[in-house]
Amino acid sequence: MSKKVLIVDDSALVRKQLSELIKGSGLDFEIETAKNGQEGVDKACATDYDVITMDINMPVMDGLTAVGEIMKKNPSAILMVSSLTSDNATSTMEALDLGAIDYVTKPGTMNIGKHENSEDIIEKLQALSRISKRRIKANRARRPIRRNEPENEISERPNRTERVSKSNEIVKPTTSSKDIKKIIFVGASTGGPGLIEQICSSLPADFPHAVCIVQHMPAQFTEAFAGRLNKSSKLNVHHTKHGMEICPGNIYLARGGSHMEFTKKVSGTIVVSENDNDKGRFFKPSVDETFLSGLKVFGGAKITSVLLTGIGDDGAEGMVAIREAGGFTMGESEDSCTVYGMPRVAFENGGVMEQLSFTQIVKKIVTIR
């Protein structure tokens, strides 16, 4: 049976480009279009589409409002179509918070070229079209609760030298990479942003370990995402940059467009070493590159690695290596994954010690001591 896709965009050219791209891909999709958000909402409420592509800036009703309306009235798999601008990056993050599952950049706008962008669009359309209504509703139900904080950029506050625990005991965490006893690595792709936000918001203020996160996104998007995470987390969330020291009790989000690797200086200090070389990886940042680099610098015994929902196999190689080196590895189970791709390959390759639902994974991370 053919799948149904709704393309919502005020640009006739983009509607034409996406339609031709889908037709030329060999996917058995019935294609319908809408020229603004209101028309998109009306059609989405009248018909069950397997996947909807949604522009952000449109007349009559913008994409964010449309996503909110559709998710209230007839929850559907929505793929945001965004330009690579800072404003659109922020809006795309808001759309994901409202229930959209993933995003792609408009045809021909990606830095790595039109061919790869087309492949990305088709791969994501195909993956999202397979997601059940039950999964979409479950994802919507577990959206994170936001803390009320000022809408500003990432805080540049220093690493905290003391925190108050729930028992009102003053906690003085270490602030040097030399004192890292354990480090948590997290990798995710499609369906990952909301989960990562829940992990960050669940960590207590006295969490003693460093957390390094790789989410497949371009640079403009990771910067906006890091800002959002910092507002919802009790810990400092940093958008990584070359030479940044990795300290206990802090969260580090890999900058888009560069692999997050690590270097141990002669002094013993461990810092981020950004690598702009593709290294043969489709994604940059790559989960595998971070996992493998982290293994060389920190050693397996200190590492807990987590692989969440996502298309493809990024992270599987690193998970196997970390497990073989004595690290602890967790993969998200199929029953909670938006897309059971990355953790599936890691599990099948023997890289997953415990395959758990996302809720169980969060509980495990929070209790690591």
pLDDT tens digits for range 209-238: 999 999 999 888 999 999 999 999 999 999
Return the SS3 of 14: helix
In angstroms, the CA 64 to CA 92 distance is: 8
Give yes or no: 335 in active site. Answer: no
Structural domain boundaries in the chain = 3-141, 163-366
Cα separation, 229 vs 121, in Å, equals: 26
Calculate ∠ Cα 20-22-24, nearest 5°.
65
Span 196-218, average pLDDT: 95
Alpha-carbon span 87 to 25, nearest angstrom: 31
Per-residue confidence (pLDDT) for residue 277, from 0 to 100: 83
Omega of the bond prior to 285 within 30 degrees of 0, cis? yes
pLDDT at 83: 83
Q: Of 97, 102, 313, 314, which residue is the catalytic one?
A: 314
4-16: pLDDT as tens digits:
999 999 999 999 9
What architecture does CATH give domain 3-141? 3-Layer(aba) Sandwich (3.40)
In the residue annotation, 314 being an active-site residue is answered as: yes
Q: Rounded distance, CA 95 to CA 207, Å?
A: 30
pTM to 2 decimals? 0.87
- The single residue of 76, 177, 189, 273 carrying the catalytic annotation is 189
Predicted pLDDT at 291? 98
Report how far residue 190's alpha carbon sits from residue 193's, in angstroms, rounded to the nearest whole number.
8
Identify which has the larger pLDDT, 134 or 290: 290
Please tell me the distance from the alpha carbon of residue 286 to that of residue 279, in angstroms, as a whole number: 9
For residue 258, give both structure tokens.
Answer: 């560069």
Please say if 189 is a catalytic residue. Answer: yes
Distance CA 317, CA 287 (A): 9
Start-end of H helices in the chain: 12-25, 37-46, 63-73, 86-98, 114-129, 133-141, 192-202, 219-232, 287-298, 316-324, 342-348, 358-366
| CB count in 10 Å sphere of residue 289 | 26
Closest CA to 159 of 148, 175, 138: 175
36 CB neighbour count, 10 Å cutoff:
19
Assigned superfamily of 163-366: Methylesterase CheB, C-terminal domain (3.40.50.180)
Compute the average pLDDT of residues 280-301. 94
Q: Pick the catalytic residue from 209, 216, 238, 239.
A: 216
Q: Residue 273's beta-bridge partner residues?
A: 261
Contact 236, 155 (CB under 8 A): yes
What was the pLDDT predicted at 154? Answer: 45
